[in-house]
Structure 1
Amino acid sequence: MEETAISPDPGLVDALRALSNPVRLQMLMWLREPERHFPLEEAIADPAEVGVCVSHIQARAGLAQSTVSAYMAELQRAGLVKATRVGKWTHYKRDDQRIAQLFAILMETL
């Protein structure tokens, strides 16, 4: 009996591609508990509500700002984080609802 090929969900493929980079995965893990991983006293917005400023993510990662911005943009395109502008700064927050959806799709697929 021949089984028909089923294409994986494109959103899931994008998310897995984004998470295949260990640094991007680490950044997403840091954003799970921003109060534990980033200096709250330097925040200009509530990390739980708005997210963490890209400059704080950059300082923690020890990478160039352009690299961190590119990594965060990849996570955003994959639907894993949401970006919010506060003044001239971009803040990133995990999209836990979308992450849960992708996890459910992954469980169904595999």
Structure 2
Amino acid sequence: MTDTDSASTPDADLVNALRALSNPMRLQMLRWLREPERHFPTDRAIADPAEVGVCVSHIQEKAGLAQSTVSAYLAELRRAGLVRATRVGKWTHYKRDERRIADLVSELGHAL
């Protein structure tokens, strides 16, 4: 490998984000969170979905997966910086990190 090859090696954060997005259900969850009022029951929300995010239980219900699986998927998206987690009482809510997603798109454009 030459020095120019190592200089063009993708950033580890970019690779982690792409890995998180490679799972179809994690990608779907991120899509749902783009428009939380459209995809989740606002009448049962204990916090504003647009402001705070969506409760894991509502995401789990929509996904039709075990709560532990949904939590693991959301944790992966959080580690990749694509969502932020906020505790409201005993419930964890997730919201997209729009700035990080925009940075990722830009970074991907430069990497490719």
* Superposition deviation, residue 10 in structure 1: 1.0
What root-mean-square deviation, in Å, do the aligned CA atoms of Structure 1 and Structure 2 show? Answer: 1.0
Aligned to 1:109: 111
User: Which blocks of at least 5 consecutive residues in structure 2 are unaligned?
Assistant: none
How many angstroms apart in 2 are the aligned matches of 1:80 and 1:4? 29
How many angstroms apart in 1 are the aligned matches of 2:80 and 2:52? 19
**Which residue type is aligned with residue 72 of structure 2?**
A
1:94 partnered with 2:96: yes
User: Which blocks of at least 5 consecutive residues in structure 1 are unaligned?
Assistant: none
Aligned to 1:37: 39
Tell me the secondary structure at the aligned position of residue 85 of structure 2: strand
* Superposition deviation, residue 9 in structure 1: 1.1
Aligned to 1:53: 55
- Report the TM-score when normalising by structure 1: 0.97
Tell me the secondary structure at the aligned position of residue 23 of structure 1: helix
**Which residue type is aligned with residue 99 of structure 2?**
Q
C-alpha offsets along residues 79-100 of structure 1, whole Å, 9 cap, x if unaligned? 0000000000000000000000
